[in-house]
Amino acid sequence: MNYKILILVQALVWANLSYSKYLPGTDRKAFSKLVDGLSKKQLAQIKAGFSLYAKGWVTAPSSTRVRDGLGPHFNAVSCVSCHQHNGRGRPPVKGLKPDFSLLIRLSISGENKNGGPLADPIYGGQFHPRSTLGVKSEGALNLKYNKKVITLSDGKNVELQSPSYKLDNLNYGPMSPDIRISPRVAPHLAGVGKLDRVTEQSILEYSDEFDQNVDGISGRANYVWNIIESKKTIGKFGWKANQPTLLQQNAGAFNGDLGITSSLFKKQNCSIGQVDCSTALDGGELEISDKHLGFVNLAVASIDVPQVKRLKYYEEGRKIFESLDCHKCHRPSFELESETISAYTDLLLHDMGEGLADKRSDFMANGREWKTAPLWGIGAQKETNGHTFLLHDGRARNVEEAILWHGGEAKKSQLGYINLSKDERTSLIDFVNSL
Ligand code: HEC
Ligand code: HEC
């Protein structure tokens, strides 16, 4: 064979191999590796889906028919604007142009017809600081931190930052006096396809709503509206387990965050009072088709979790993780049909105390309850996203601060952490950062 042809063949083989291992065009690859066993056809669909997920959507009408229909109200122009490198977002930083990976859910007291949070009559269920040309945005987010200090048993002081949020420049008049807000940052997306396959029955195995084993921990499942099944099913995605399936989560993100309608979410994000918004041109009845939504869903579902790193004190840390009851919520494993996964979540809701409370219910989750955050992938966050911010609103700047925010059912674990020696703390954090 002519050597030029040989090089060409090698390049093709290499391109195919590297593409089949990672999402196309991605750098900082910890959250971009694809699961094994995907067929050529699936890889082609993932490529198409990833482009709809990663490239910016534009205002309708446009020559880019496949990706038009942005807004009229929106938070960001693409999924990766918030899930950068498929990783985790962060709260806005003072002095820098605000990024919008922190979104604000809105509701008032009462329930909607599906048992979910009742939207504000004007501003809806999510605050949109951005809008297309000719349409007013809903306003701006103002975030401030107050400091508080926790002293550990060996005298070390840890400063925690407690956020307070204000929604300013409200362009459609005042919000309901009864408004409740829930700030949330974008979690990383590695492993979500595996969580989608966890069965209801295996989640319920760990639930102990009335704390019958009297260990102070009483996880319970959220049941949320499942649009396709037209009934409530167990919730898994989002910080309060407020979405039942990956498909509905993704379609919900297209609608709520980008303003893209689909067969699952047919309405634009405009209320009756927002005339400029409801009369703006749109990208057709369904701005993303079922076929394309399916491709995006396959792409997101195919992101694998990074390998466990086993840092220096992994083994010592694992024992402390158990002795402080961390594993009782951060459940080490789930059995799927064909594999065991180690997500370190029970996918259940827990009362986390007043400090973390958003005072806003979300289906069965009350204002103090959050889904146990999965810990897998946590150690890859720094290299991938350039920061170590954690918790639902990104207030914790590292693992230690995240643990110190634990209260409610996790108060015993938090106190246990405060009483550890410096070496023990290092070991526990090493373990968490290995996952
Ligand atoms: C404005 C920022 C933002 C944009 C844009 C965004 N997301 Fe998200 N994403 C979030 C936040 C915040 C959450 C948590 C939501 C909650 O708790 O209610 C989330 C949650 C998710 C989850 C669930 C993860 C888990 O482990 O529970 C998936 C999957 C997801 N988003 C996919 C997408 C897709 C697909 C798109 C593009 C269509 C997208 N997101 C666009 C901010 C964003
Ligand atoms: C009662 C259940 C419970 C126990 C016990 C518990 N956690 Fe958590 N953990 C949670 C919940 C719920 C969250 C999400 C809270 C939020 O975002 O407001 C969380 C979040 C975290 C986070 C941040 C994850 C992220 O993605 O932002 C870390 C790290 C963590 N826990 C570590 C630990 C460690 C270490 C222990 C033991 C010392 C522990 N947890 C004990 C329920 C628990």
Please give the span between the terminal C-alpha atoms of the chain, in angstroms, as a whole number: 47
Place of tokens 């006096």: 177
Query: Is residue 48 within 8 Å of 284, Cβ to Cβ?
Result: no
pLDDT confidence of residue 225:
98
Does the Cβ of 189 fall within 6 Å of ligand 1? yes
Q: What is the mean pLDDT of residues 43-67?
A: 91
CB of 396 closer than 6 angstroms to any ligand 1 atom: no
Say whether pLDDT at 395 is over 80. yes
Mean pLDDT, the chain, whole residue set: 93
* For range 359-374, the mean pLDDT: 97
Testing ligand 1's pocket by substitution, the residue of 23, 83, 246 carrying the most ligand atoms inside 8 A of its CB is 83
User: Which residue is associated with the tokens 């840890």?
Assistant: 158
Instruction: Give the count of alpha carbons within 13 A of 250, CB side only.
Output: 25
Residue 392, token pair as written in the block: 């639902």
Tokens representing residue 135 in the block: 């349409």
For the CA of 400, the nearest ligand = 2
Interval between CA 155 and ligand 1 midpoint (Å): 39
Class of residue 291 by CB neighbours under 10 A (exposed 0-12, middle 13-18, buried 19+): exposed
325 lines ligand 2 (CB under 6 A): yes
Asked whether residue 9 carries a pLDDT value surpassing 60, the answer given is no
What pLDDT is attached to residue 191? 98
Share of the chain above pLDDT 70, in %: 94
Residue 10 has pLDDT above 70, yes or no: no
Query: What's the gap between Cα 105 and its chain centre?
Result: 13
Instruction: Name the band, by pLDDT with cuts 50, 70 and 90, for residue 64.
Output: confident
Q: Residue 121 is which amino acid?
A: P
* Nearest-angstrom CA–CA distance, 108 and 179: 5
Q: Residue 361 — φ and ψ, nearest 5°?
A: -85, 155
Paired tokens of 278 = 């409801």
| Rg of the chain (C-alpha set) | 22
Alpha carbon 203 to chain centroid distance?
Answer: 19
Please tell me the least confidently modeled range out of 50-64, 340-354, 356-370: 50-64
Instruction: Kindly give the number of the ligand 2 atom that is closest to the alpha carbon of 378.
Output: 26
pLDDT of residue 304: 97
Can you read off the two tokens belonging to residue 245? 């399936």
Helices (H) and strands (E) in the chain, counts: 14, 13
- Bridge pairing between strands 180-185 and 223-226: unpaired
CA of 377 to the centre of ligand 2 (A): 14
Residue with tokens 């590292």: 398
Tens of pLDDT along 174-224? 999 999 999 999 999 999 999 999 999 999 999 999 999 999 999 999 999
320 lines ligand 2 (CB under 6 A): no
Query: Which amino acid is it at 188?
Result: H
Atom of ligand 2 minimally distant from the CA of 88:
26
- 420 CB under 6 A from ligand 2? no
pLDDT category at 2 given cuts 50, 70, 90 is: low
